[in-house]
Amino acid sequence: MGLLIYLEGKLVPEEQAKVSVFDHGLLYGDGVFEGIRAYNGKVFRLKEHIRRLYQSAQTIMLKIPVSPENLTAAILETLRANKLRDAYIRVVITRGKGDLGLDPRKCPKASYFVITSKIQLYPEELYEKGIDIITVATRRTNVEMLTPGVKSLNYLNNILAKIEGNNAGVSEALLLNQEGLVLECTGDNVFLVRGKEILTPPLYLGILAGITRQAVLELALRAGLTAGEVPFTRHDLFNADEVFLTGTAAEVIPVIRIDGRQVRKGIPGFYTKNLMILFRELARRDGTPIY
């Protein structure tokens, strides 16, 4: 049996979940989204994801046609309808149906839908062996153009970087800004470990405010590590003790090689391993109950 999708206020079978070819989400990438996960019958940091979604929408002047409370209820209802306890949740808000021009004023009502499905994990062996990443020639969209803090439907910047990573045969691609500072990967935030300190780029440089990134910063402090949000370069990454990525899909995943340079402390490094375990515990413990 196919999945049930929440579309415009009701649950419909996957085959009937259709959007218009005149939807500006499709025509112009005009919209915002969230990727959320449920573990063991609970949705991890749902409130934070909902907040980020409404913030993304606010910045692009998109009015979400449902309240945060009702959207939260819709997500939980969709999970229940699909009898899911462990899931990946995609919430999408688009500018809605308009004409062929790009003017959003021609789109009277935003569209929204919620997809819940079984989670597709990275193969477990990558968590043991670590992933190989490269920095790519494509630079991250500048904050003055379209801040990466907005999780918009316009992911071409990330997709171009992903294609470069694919062409090089690696699992993730790392994006820098115009000055060569490290920002983030195509779908993950990046951290380095140096001594008893973990560092990640600050939000003001123009990265997505990752929910997993925030959880790891909190866990690090509790694990007796100091945590800093500071700008750093590839040179700092090449000479770090450990490097790892964070994201809703990936959780905490170790990096073994960056641009051919082997990460110093090998895989998985002591602190990365600890944070992987602490994060998995936290994700399975905390969350909004589905049932």
Residues near ligand PMP (CB under 6 A) are: 35, 158, 184, 187-189, 208, 210-213, 246-248
Q: Residue 87 class from Cβ within 10 Å (0-12 exposed, 13-18 middle, 19+ buried)?
A: buried
> In sequence order, what are the beta bridge partners of 10?
7
**Residue 205 contacts residue 182 (beta carbons within 8 Å):** no
Nearer to ligand PMP, 7 or 185 (CB): 185
Nearer to ligand PMP, 11 or 143 (CB): 143
Nearer to ligand PMP, 201 or 268 (CB): 201
Cα–Cα nearest to 20, from 116, 104, 75, 100: 100
CA 177, CA 210: separation in Å to the nearest integer?
A: 18
Catalytic residue among 10, 63, 83, 151: 151
CA 260, CA 174: separation in Å to the nearest integer?
A: 13
**CB atoms inside a 10 Å sphere around CB 162:** 18
Closest distance to ligand PMP from the beta carbon of 188 (Å)? 5
Nearer to ligand PMP, 30 or 184 (CB): 184
Q: Residue 52 class from Cβ within 10 Å (0-12 exposed, 13-18 middle, 19+ buried)?
A: buried
Nearer to ligand PMP, 51 or 106 (CB): 51
Closest distance to ligand PMP from the beta carbon of 282 (Å)? 13
SS (H, E, C) 189-235: EEEEEECCEEEECCHHHCCCCCHHHHHHHHHHHHCCCEEEECCCEHH
Cα–Cα nearest to 132, from 119, 122, 118, 140: 122
**CB atoms inside a 10 Å sphere around CB 33:** 18
The answer to whether 42 is a known catalytic residue is no
The catalytic site residues sit at 151
